[in-house]
Amino acid sequence: MILENRALRVAVDPGRGADILQVTDVRTAVGLLASSPWRGRADRIRSGAMRPSAIDPVGRWMEQYRGGWQTLCPNAGPPRLVGGASVGFHGEASVAAWDVTDHSATSMTLRLEMFSVPVVIERTLTLDGTSLRQDDTLTNLSDLPLELDYSSHPAFGGAFLDGSCTIETGARTFTVDPESSGGRVVTSAWPHVDADGARLDLRALPEPDQRRALFGWLSDFEAGWYSITNHDRRLGVRLEWDASILPQAWWWQELNGTEHFPWFGRARMMAIEPASTTTSGPGRGETLRIASRASVTVPVELRVEPSRS
């Protein structure tokens, strides 16, 4: 399904996770979101033209990953127990079929009642000029308080990451994922991090011929926002959210840097994902709490901005 105005064209798949498959800047015809190296295969699986081959839960999710923008809930990351339920990789909301309850040229409302936890997500997507706003209202249907994960997972790639790109954010701190660094908790003041024996400035995106794989999270936000700007294309995006609800942002850079499954050095994409929890380590835990019969609204807004440089 398509949302479109004079500035943006947005492709949405309610049938799997209500994925936002692409956001295209009409002015430049550049798609902002990444596509996985096996996008054609994933599309064929989605259409029913072929069956998935992966047998483990992570591989099955990845085989059908097309790129784009997902919502990870009630679990973000590897399979785990949430409220006594065994929840798969990246959670039910990212794979379930959502109901479309209203649709116009520039707005869409969707609804998902999850099985793994007694929660309904009611979503509104709205295009307004160069802005795409997503409002998710999560309602606890039970008489018990619930704790769960919520992460907004937009992955950027393609032509948008080609050329000279810089990243800015309202975060003050970056932490390398402990499971990726031998269990050590490595925390640095933004924008620097010590990784792989080098001190990196995370504001500068490596050039296409440079490789990097880096996973961790941003925290200590003055305000919930980040921007990615491609100076060669004079095109940028800015994502904003309520950091009191989602106090971390997972940082995932897969810049042709992973030589093993599933990437094998073939993917150049990155995501900065507003999240209710850290990626792993001693502080890993659910931070989105919904009281009995209560609701929480999670706003996330993506704005496309021409670069002045």
Return per-residue pLDDT of the chain as tens, 309 residues.
999 999 999 999 999 999 999 999 999 999 999 999 999 999 999 999 999 999 999 999 999 999 999 999 999 999 998 889 999 999 999 999 999 999 999 999 999 999 999 999 999 999 999 999 999 999 999 999 999 999 999 999 999 999 999 999 999 999 999 988 777 788 999 999 987 777 899 999 999 889 999 999 999 999 999 999 999 999 999 999 999 999 999 999 999 999 999 999 999 999 999 999 999 987 787 689 999 999 999 999 999 998 766
Q: What is the CATH number of the domain that holds 143?
A: 2.70.98.10
Length of the chain: 309
What separation in angstroms does the CA of 91 have from each of 63, 95, 103, 226, 283? 15, 7, 25, 25, 20
| Total domains, the chain | 1
Q: In 10 A of CB 126, how many CB atoms?
A: 16
Could you tell me the pTM of the whole model?
A: 0.96
Spatial distance between the Cα atoms of 151 and 286, rounded to a whole number of angstroms: 11
Spatial distance between the Cα atoms of 43 and 283, rounded to a whole number of angstroms: 37
What is the domain range of residue 25? 2-306
